[in-house]
Amino acid sequence: MKGNEFLDKMELIDPAYVEAADAKPKRRKIAWVKWGAMAACFCLVVASAFMIPGIWNTPVPPISDPGTSGIPVPDPDGTIQREDEPVEYPPTTIIPGVVLDEPFDPGSLIFNDATSLLSASRRYIPGYFTEELSDEELSAIKPNRQIPDMMFSAVAGFDGEGTLLEVFLMIDAPSLDETTHVTFSNGNPSSCYQLLEEPLVSTFNSIDFTIYQWTPDNSNYTLDAQAVINGWTMQIVYTATAENLEKAKTDLATIILCLSDYEDGKPDFSAIVAESIPEYFDKKISLSEAYSDSDFGFFMVQSLPDGFSEESIRRYKDQNNDYLSGLWTKGLANLSWNISAYGEKDSTRLTSVAQTENYDLSLYPIPRAESVPEELREIVDNPIFDANELTLETVYMRAYKADEAGDVDGWRMAFSVKYGDVIVEVRTKGVEPEWVYQQLMNLLEN
């Protein structure tokens, strides 16, 4: 799995760099274990008596010294006391697969009900890139305590200089209903919750965890535990539905118990080092320099609409992006021309001109969030046509006008055209469809 795919699934990027049940989980009662075991033993003794001939006629030795013979002695009130009552009991397993030094009830976790999730923007990090952790690096952040068949995978995020900023850890196990997402970062947690009062903490192995319960719709829940460990912020996120909320809380307790148990010096983030630093640059260049670009210069727009002036031309490259872009404006009208390499991620937007349901905006009235089927939203928003199929009629099927007060009333359009292994993405407002079509055809003819 590539690093960027991993991040898309996690959705836990730290904003410093780039969900509520009222009832608490019921405490499990364990007293029945001792009495149940005693009852089972008693039944076994009685059953054995009927199965072994003559057992009721077996003489009982005289008790000369009650209390020292090791045989239960009736008290005057009829109760039976054993000579030696156990003072301590063996470790108790409350969390499936986790043997604890002392009994633990998941109900002891304190969940702070959040009234809202505060949004946060991600800071721009020049050259940000990710790498999957090697087995050696992964072992440096695995907790000391683990549950059966616990599986780990992780991706590290670095800045353009190779400095480790965050680690995204995924945990799976047969006993867990969902994948657990854990983020370690040297900044603030990615989620911040609004509460009606000060949050309460739950402490495990001397580590204070602030645990939040957040639901936007009383159906889907996010359970979020945050703590600081070895100088890094740790955020544990587990999702649930109303139906499995109690089980989810037990699962979260399991993970917290594991992630609060590290040997001295761990998790060891110093062991995570970038294997290589991808090429990165972000340059503002002139139009003549854009034409000279060896990768994308040939596909830059050859002329401009009357009255449009240059805003910016940019050449950018990092681990996941490589493009040449230009922006020109005329008052509120604008022309955006973006050139990039065609990749596998773009294949879902590639469409034939014959498949009008994929791009004809006349089929989908505004607001399109309501008129476009969910499965077609990505491709309808920005379809990719093969340059050899593109027609003026197709361009007009992508163009529309919006009567918005205070804005330009000209044509608007957005689509992309594929030339071999290169894509040209065009977004315009206030530009005639004929002009756009002719510019795209010029690239095919040159």
What is the Cα–Cα distance from 212 to 229, expressed in whole angstroms? Answer: 18
What pLDDT shows up at residue 120?
Answer: 62
List the beta bridge partners of residue 424.
339, 417
Phi, psi of 45 (to 5 degrees): -65, -45
Share of the chain above pLDDT 70, in %: 75
- Residue 108 confidence class, pLDDT cut points 50, 70, 90: confident
**Better-scored residue on pLDDT, 110 or 120:** 110
Cβ atoms of residues 130 and 155 within 8 Å: yes
- Residue 406 confidence class, pLDDT cut points 50, 70, 90: confident
**Better-scored residue on pLDDT, 268 or 18:** 268
Q: What is the mean pLDDT of the chain?
A: 81
Indicate whether 29 pLDDT > 60.
no
What pLDDT shows up at residue 405?
Answer: 74
pTM of the model: 0.69
**Better-scored residue on pLDDT, 210 or 66:** 210
Share of the chain above pLDDT 90, in %: 67
- Residue 225 confidence class, pLDDT cut points 50, 70, 90: very high
What pLDDT shows up at residue 8?
Answer: 46
Write out the two tokens for 358: 């994929």
Write out the two tokens for 163: 């400095």
- Residues in contact with 422: Cβ distance below 8 Å, sequence separation at least 6, in sequence order: 296, 299, 339, 340, 341, 342
* 98-104 contacts at long range (C-beta below 8 A, 24 or more positions apart): 98/145, 98/147, 98/254, 98/257, 98/258, 100/257, 103/30, 104/253, 104/257
pLDDT in tens, 348-364: 999 999 999 999 999 99
Indicate whether 66 pLDDT > 70.
no
Q: Which of 7-16, 177-186, 215-224, 392-401 has the lowest mean pLDDT?
A: 7-16
Indicate whether 257 pLDDT > 60.
yes
The DSSP line for 34-48 is HHHHHHHHHHHHHHH
What pLDDT shows up at residue 79?
Answer: 45
pLDDT in tens, 136-156: 999 999 999 999 999 999 999
What pLDDT shows up at residue 121?
Answer: 63
Indicate whether 22 pLDDT > 50.
no
